Amino acid sequence: MASLSAYIERSSTIDLLMRLLEVPGLSGQETAISQAVQAELIAAGVPATSMFNDDAHSRIDLPCEIGNLFVQLPGTKPGPRIMFSTHLDTVPICQGAKPILKDGQICTDGSTGLGGDNRTGCAVLISTVAALLKHQLPHPPITLLFTIREESGIQGARYLDTKAVSDVEMCFNFDGKVPAELVTGAVGQETFYVEITGLASHAGVAPEQGISATLIASKAIADVHAQGWFGKIQKPDGYGTSNIGIFGGKKGLAAGDATNVVTDYVYLKGEARSHDAEFNSRITAAFQAAFEKAVNEVVTIDGQRATLKFTIHKAYPPFHLEDHSPVVMRAVDAAKFIGMSPITKSSNGGLDANWLVKHGVPTVTMGAGQHEIHTIKEFINLDEFMDGCQLALAIATQCGQE
C-alpha cells in the first residue's frame, strides 16, 4: 500500500471543490464553469495557451453557449498520451446550490441539489494537474477534457472535435460514487418518438366517426407489455429495458381538449436500453410493430385509420472493455497501488465513455464521492473524494505500472 496524500493537500482541495460547487452551469449554459475551471488551472500553473474550447456546440441541436474545454499538457517523460475527462454541466435541481461543509461531507440546505455530479470530477482533474506541476512529478503527455451537455443526452462527448483526441490512447473519466468501482461497460440507448394523428368527433353523439389516438397508443403499450418488451426485458437471446416516459399532446400540452371529444392526436417519447446494440434495436422494433398493429385495429365506421409517425434516434452506443485491456489494467494497478480493492462493473446508464469509446478512445469511468445525485438529498463523501484525487494522481504518474 502506498499513499500520494502528501502531494494533495486536503483542506485546499476541498476549498477548490467548494468554490466550483457555487458556480452555475446548467446544460447548455456552461460558460461560467468553463471559465472558472480555466482560472483554477491557470492559478495552478497551466499556460492559458494550452486551453481551448472546441466547436461541438455548433453541431448540437440544442441551445449551447460554448463548446467542450480541452487542456493539452506535454509530458515530462515518454509514454502514450492519456486523457482525464469529466463533464461541466449540472441538472436544474442544482441551480442556486449553497454547499455546506459538515461532518466529513458537503451537502446543501435541502432546498436544492448540490452539483457534485459533476463538480467532483472537475475538482479531481484540477487537483491532479496542480499536484503534478507543484511537485514536478513525472508524467506522460496528458489531455484534460471537460464536456458540455452530458446531462442532456451526452451531447458534448458525442460531437466533440475528434482531432483533439486523435493521439490519445486511453482515458479516465471521473463521474460516479466510489473510486474503486471501475465502470468498463455501459448500455446503449435508442430513443423513439411516436406521433399518432387520429380523427376528432363528438364522443357522445358520434364516437364511431372518430379515431381515438389515445386508444391506439394504449393498445400498443398494452401489446408490448404482453409480449414482454416493456420495462425489464429478459429474452432467451438478450436482455434490456424500455419505457414510455412521455404521453402527451401538442407542444407539451395534454393529449386531447375535452372529455366529449375523441382525442385526435397524441405524442409519446420512449427509450430502449441494452448492452447489445442489435438487441436494443429489436426492442425499438417491437414498439414500432405494436403501434403499427394498433393503428390498423382502430377504424372508423367508414374505414378510416389514423396516421403514425415513428422516429428512432440512436442516443448513444453500448460498449464493453475487457479486464485485460491496457486502460483497465492501468486503472486497476493504480487503485491497488494506493490500497484500494478495485472491481470492474457495467452501468445501466449512459456515460461520456459511451461516445469516447466510439471515437476510438478506450475509457474507464470511476467515482469521486458523489451520492444521491439529482435530488435534494445529494451529498459528497469527502474521504471518497480525496481517494478519487489520489487515484487520478496514481494513474497520471503511472504508479503501480513500473
Report which of 17, 36, 43 is spatially closest to residue 369, judged by C-alpha positions.
Answer: 17
Write out the catalytic residue numbers: 150
CA 91/CA 156 separation, integer angstroms: 15
Question: Is the separation of the CB atoms in 300 and 243 below 8 Å?
Answer: no
**CA separation for the pair 174, 153 (Å, rounded):** 17
Per-position DSSP letters for 3-72, written without gaps between them: --GGGS-HHHHHHHHHHHHTS--BTT--HHHHHHHHHHHHHTT--GGGEEE-SGGGTSSS--S---EEEE
Instruction: Report residue 243 as a C-alpha cell.
Output: 419505457
What is the pLDDT at residue 1? 41
117 labelled binding-site residue:
yes
HSE-CB at 376 with a 13 A cutoff on CA atoms is: 5
Look at residue 5 in the predicted model and tell me its pLDDT: 78
* Contact in structure between 317 and 310 (CB atoms under 8 Å): no
pLDDT at residue number 402 = 55
pTM above 0.75, yes or no: yes
* pLDDT of res. 49: 97
Exposure letters 250-275 (e unless 16+ CB within 10 A, then b):
eeeeebbeeeebbbbbbbbbbbbbbb
**One digit per residue, pLDDT tens: the chain, 402 residues?**
456 778 999 999 999 999 999 999 999 999 999 999 999 999 999 999 999 999 999 999 999 999 999 999 999 999 999 999 999 999 999 999 999 999 999 999 999 999 999 999 999 999 999 999 999 999 999 999 999 999 998 999 999 999 999 999 999 999 999 999 999 999 999 999 999 999 999 999 999 999 999 999 999 999 999 999 999 999 999 999 999 999 999 988 999 989 999 999 999 999 999 999 999 999 999 999 999 999 999 999 999 999 999 999 999 999 999 999 999 999 999 999 999 999 999 999 999 999 999 999 999 999 999 999 999 999 999 999 999 999 999 999 987 565
- The answer to whether 22 is annotated as binding is no
Supply the pLDDT for residue 21.
97
The pLDDT, as a whole number, for residue 2 is 56
Q: Which domains does the chain have, with CATH numbers?
A: 5-186+318-396 (3.40.630.10), 188-316 (3.30.70.360)
Amino acid of residue 263: T
DSSP string, 323-362: TTSHHHHHHHHHHHHTT---EEEEESS--HHHHHHHTT--
First to last CA, the chain: 15
Distance CA 192, CA 185 (A): 23
Segment holding 132, helix H or strand E: helix 116-134
